[in-house]
Amino acid sequence: MLLNNNIDLYFMKQFMYLIKWNILFLLGGLIFISCNKNEEPKEISLKVANSQLVYQGEVSDKAGFNVQFINDTAKCVLRTVYIMPDDTLGYVKASVINNNLTINVITKPDDNPNWADISKLTKVHDVKFNLIGLRKGVYNLQLTVNNTTSSKSNFLIN
């Protein structure tokens, strides 16, 4: 009888030992999985400074986007015809998600009747602004001026 109790006790200890390690293994796996969730990329808003709207008149170059870095500030010039001569600059907003750079420009009152036909738009403006926090690199660029959007893939900013 004593022998049976010792054997039962031995198997019970082995069984508890296995259960303990299985539980620890499962808990470790759950912690690892919960820590390695693929989070959605976060949008990073860039600080826009010194924005101004400069009327250029009727010139042949109707569109463009140039960036020049000075220290950690990206000095940007956006040339567009999607702004009326009497408009004023409402705002410039910029953000980055991974390698996607989005720039939004809104003017007031943004009521051009000929948005669809670019050949009728002859008055050119430059929107000049500084982006603080933009890093050098290759971006998928999306420019929106008064709800008219254009895109450029693999746009190099250096």
pLDDT value of position 77: 96
pLDDT one digit per residue (tens) for the chain, 158 residues: 445 566 667 777 777 777 777 777 777 777 777 665 667 788 999 999 999 999 998 888 888 999 999 988 999 999 998 888 888 999 999 999 999 999 999 998 866 665 666 677 888 999 999 999 999 999 999 999 988 889 999 999 98
pLDDT value of position 111: 65
pTM: 0.73
pLDDT value of position 2: 47
pLDDT value of position 103: 96
Looking at the chain, the number of H-run helices and the number of E-run strands are 1, 8
- The full DSSP string for 41-55 is PPPEEEEEEEEEEEE
pLDDT value of position 114: 57
Alpha-carbon distance of 78 to 90, in angstroms, equals: 15
pLDDT value of position 35: 66
Q: Which of 92, 90, 81, 88 is nearest to 56 (CA)?
A: 81
Q: Where do we find the tokens 């998928």?
A: 140
Q: Which of 138, 82, 137 is nearest to 114 (CA)?
A: 82
Query: Strand 148-157 relative to strand 73-80: parallel, antiparallel, unpaired?
Result: unpaired
